Structure 1
């Protein structure tokens, strides 16, 4: 809308500044709201001039050149993906998680000028969009993106690094008891029962469970490379002897009627091609978690708990470790299967399953 023609007495007023009865008011060019500017004509003009400079987009040649030279945050993300991310040599699961976060940041912030991304802008974005561990992960990735951008001359500061660094929340999940395991098992599909027993016996993480193939069984041993601990050396390369209990689980898997290369597999409702799957019967780690959660939530005693307290598929690993100790297996045996670098970590996983015996000490003396 074109500005109104000024009367002769108001021709010296700045745009958006108006006078009424000796009192001046400024009309916000974006919201249309009026703000009082007092009765001093000179001061009101100075204030209106500053406000216009801040609130009205300019079309002068200098501003256009500066704007064209400004770096958008999307450019940093694009170059980070192409130049730096491949050098990190992340495991497939970790790469998938980082890619998910990059996609989110690209969607939300790609058109932001880097020089306009202040500490407050980043802090507000994090506070408004993420909580708990998600906040920590996205803040860390933003910090790394700005550090990368600085090495390429795309930015001079790292506003994310100066935002609040939060501490990870304490886990509140209930340990999975043998009784709960059996109750969940009763609601599980056949393939999920195989997965649960496979996890309980081998004590492997879900990514390693889903990656295990029948071809990994050679000379009576199951060969597994634990993805999370592979960089720590030979402890991550396990050659697990296939004894009767594990052999029974593998045989049940082979009886599914599906020609799958993977020990944990199923026939999906719809077979779709996917770049993230080698075979259509393969189970993604997140799918294993979701399907376990569906069966878990059919158990009334567990379903009444807050979601944050309900045990996940990961708790099967901890229960299995506890059962090994309960059966008299030595510490080193369980630690090796779990792939922990220290026995302290193994005990941290399994000690939550200890049941306290109720008694009294009431001797009168």
Structure 2
């Protein structure tokens, strides 16, 4: 092969002849003309006949015209500011991992994330209190004060995560004043109405109502009670049966009902152990029918495919809101509380309050049984990855 081998000048990336490899980039030598330099506009210009002088000029020219702009850009360029709608999915993943929300709450979060995506298209650090105010007016105008405050709190939580990830330096949602807490409009449920609804209810609703009455726990927990667990586990509700029933001062105990309240999943009292006595065992035994289901409160769906499967773990499990809807439907069909406005009529949730009042009337404290975080109870410990605190509550029956 003929011809001189080319050398690559690493500093410039240009392929150069062997005879120029000891010269700075863009500097050339001609025996007749001397040393010439290729300028940034592509022209060549003779700079000197002297080698050392030409090298000095070339180095300085390259520094000023070729290296300086790149260096200045590196030093002065601001980092790219991402908009919230581009990072909100990753934030939701972190929140879900950290907070372990229930399926229902996660569904609500996802709906709120879609609203955030649609509105917050500006860079994160440009979001101001005025944007928060406008967002709340656009998406939640007319909502009750309590709902408005929950949506604002969710936005504040999202901004906290954005701050923690370095996308924001302030949290403008924290500057927004929440609306005053509304007085509860719903009237309490009385025992006579409870019994009438119970008598008219299908088996699955009857089971759910009785479980809430005896445990004081909400429909979200009751709908997740499984017939059998091997041990108490965070995130699950279910029955842990003794091989041999035990006796205490109140009677026979067949096992323990573990309840993990989703609403207060981070509080120590959100994990509650309730003794399964004769009353609870009877409710659980009576719930069994021809349907094979791992859940105490169950029914077959009307359709072959369950459209709400994202909110349940088994085809026979009932979405908690559907239990509440059936309760209200029967309440209205019976004509109970017709004298009240719809928003004032007691819902399924008021069974908890009725249960608490009956327990108190029996001379017992309902607080620990309900899983309230300031309850004073004996703590038992269960190994599950790490030590988790469960609150053991007394054996009792709610009489009505």
**TM-score band (shorter)?**
0.5 to 0.7
Q: Which has the larger radius of gyration?
A: 2
CA distance in 1: counterparts of 2:287 and 2:95, whole angstroms: 41
Please tell me whether residue 227 in structure 1 is matched to residue 250 in structure 2: no
For residue 257 of structure 1, report the CA deviation from its aligned partner.
1.5
**C-alpha distance after superposition, 1:126-147 (max 9, x if no partner):** 1243221221122122222223
Change (3 A) 1:295 1:146: same
CA distance in 2, matches of 1:340, 1:151: 30
Q: Give, in whole Å, the separation in 2 of the partners of 1:227 and 1:163.
A: 30
Q: Take 2:304 and 2:284, find their aligned partners in 1: how far apart are those partners?
A: 24
* Aligned match for 1:258, one of 281, 291, 294: 291
Residue 294 of structure 1 aligns to a residue whose secondary structure is helix
**Superposed displacement of residue 230, structure 1:** 5.9
My pick for the range that moved more, 108-117 or 267-276, is 108-117
Which aligned pairs between 1:166-205 and structure 2 lie closer than 5 A? Answer: 166-205=179-218
- Give the RMSD, CA atoms, in angstroms: 2.9
Structure with the higher fraction of residues in helix conformation = 1
1:148 and 1:253, CA in 2 relative to 1: closer, same or farther beyond 3 A? same
Map 1:5-16 → 2, pairs under 5 A: none
SS of residue in 2 equivalent to 1:331: coil
Aligned length: 272
Distance 1:117 1:340, change over 3 A: closer
Asked if 1 retains the 8 angstrom alpha-carbon contact of 2:215 and 2:369, the reply is yes
- Tell me if structure 1 keeps the 8 A contact 2:222–2:297: yes
Mark the CA change 1:303 to 1:91 in structure 2 (over 3 Å): closer, same or farther: same
Residue 236 (structure 1) aligned with residue 271 (structure 2): yes
Structure 2 segments unaligned to the other structure (5+ residues): 1-76, 229-238, 243-253, 377-400
Question: Which residue number in structure 2 is paired with residue 43 of structure 1?
Answer: none
TM-score between the two structures when normalised by the length of structure 2: 0.60
**Unpaired segments ≥5 residues, structure 1:** 1-65, 345-365
Distance 2:256 2:304 in 1: 29
Whether 2:82 is the aligned partner of 1:71: answer: yes
- Partners of 1:139 and 1:186 in 2: how far apart? 41
Q: Against the structure 1 CA distance between its residues 103 and 299, is the aligned structure 2 distance closer, same or farther, given a 3 Å change threshold?
A: farther
**Map 1:261-300 → 2, pairs under 5 A:** 261-273=294-306, 274-300=309-335
Name the residue aligned to 2:368.
336
**Structure 2 CA distance for aligned equivalents of residues 73 and 158 of structure 1:** 13
